[in-house]
Amino acid sequence: MKLMDKLQEIFKSNHKIIPYLKLAEKTNKKLSVQINLTNKCSSKCKSCRKYEWPQIELDLKSINNVLWNLADHDCETITFSGGEPLLYSKFKDIKIPDTLKVNVLTSLVVDKAKVEHLLKIANSIQVSLDGHNKQMFEQIRGVDAFDLVINNLKYLKNNLNSNQRLRINCTVSKSNATWVKEIFFLAQNIGVDINFYPVHTWENLKLDENNWLMIGAQIKQVKEIINGELIEIEPVKTNLFNLSRHQEPLAPICIIHKIHAVVDANGDVYPCCHLLNDNGEYGKQNEFSSGNIYTDTYLNCFEHQFNYLPKSPECLQCNRYRSINNLYYQYTKCNQQIYL
């Protein structure tokens, strides 16, 4: 088999890997950067608990400096997160360069004015929703806001333009593993795509074998309903059918630090959100507040550590980037001199 045919076979089912491969050959460009604007949150989620952290937020001048710096370095996507990013006190004053695509991670536990502003600035909106009714929502997210979130979701759905994307992100834990099917069909009824992610934070919330058996049974039921054409509209996009307790093998290399970064609300910079507060930061506030997170410190600190899989438990349990790293590892084994 020709080398390029082999590469095409590897990546034909996952075209999103191609930008990562192109950028992995370079050192001075980040495909995406997530900025946690604030620790303030309108929810009290069991799986996060940022509401218990110091209620701090980033300086507006530093944020604007960094955004322009990222644009100058050809960054493609900026993600605003928190806490609840829409609670950032000067959210409307953030100056976003035209070349940056904007993704916002939100709970939508906010008022209508904030939702309307979100529509003006976001290319992609991802909504955290882990319950299918008021009782389950309040049990997991700690606030009575289910109706507010559903109404805001429907408003967004009805007012998106053709270039904007809307998706629900559901964190699956022991608290809601029994209700995965119902959460999927809630998204289906609203007409919004939904992805499911196993919880990676607190041990008492992580899924056990019985939970995975329940999830597997529900996935089978959803497939039967969809294949039996028992729903009136086309199924929404979802990763539900790929959800499994059986993880892929762990690649001996991680490339995420080369093409992604996370800035926390205190100004620390990390290679990914899984390593927050896990001794994985590149630098402290001076790198961020200067507007230049492409300093030598940022680029070189921990470079050797992250070129080869870190020993952090969070890395060993990583679900989000495992496929990307495995595909990249296959690419390097084909021929390290090939440039796509």
Residue 2 confidence class, pLDDT cut points 50, 70, 90: very low
**pLDDT at position 154 over 70:** yes
Task: Indicate the SS3 state at residue 216.
Answer: helix
From the list 331, 335, 337, 334, the residue with the least C-alpha distance to 18 is: 331
**pLDDT at position 278 over 60:** no
**pLDDT at position 122 over 80:** yes
Cα 241 from Cα 196, distance rounded (Å): 10
pTM of the model: 0.84
Residue 75 confidence class, pLDDT cut points 50, 70, 90: confident
Cβ pair 138, 146 in contact under 8 A: yes
At a CB cut-off of 8 Å and minimum separation 6, what does 295 contact?
283, 287
At a CB cut-off of 8 Å and minimum separation 6, what does 300 contact?
none
Which value, in Å, is the radius of gyration of the alpha carbons in the chain?
20
Task: Indicate the SS3 state at residue 77.
Answer: strand
Cβ pair 94, 136 in contact under 8 A: no
- Map tokens 């991670």 to a residue: 105
**pLDDT at position 13 over 50:** no
pLDDT value at position 231?
Answer: 65
Cα 21 from Cα 24, distance rounded (Å): 5
**pLDDT at position 67 over 60:** yes
> Cα angle at 150 between 148 and 156, to 5 degrees?
100
Cα 229 from Cα 56, distance rounded (Å): 49
Residue 312 confidence class, pLDDT cut points 50, 70, 90: low
Q: What value does the mean pLDDT of the chain take?
A: 80
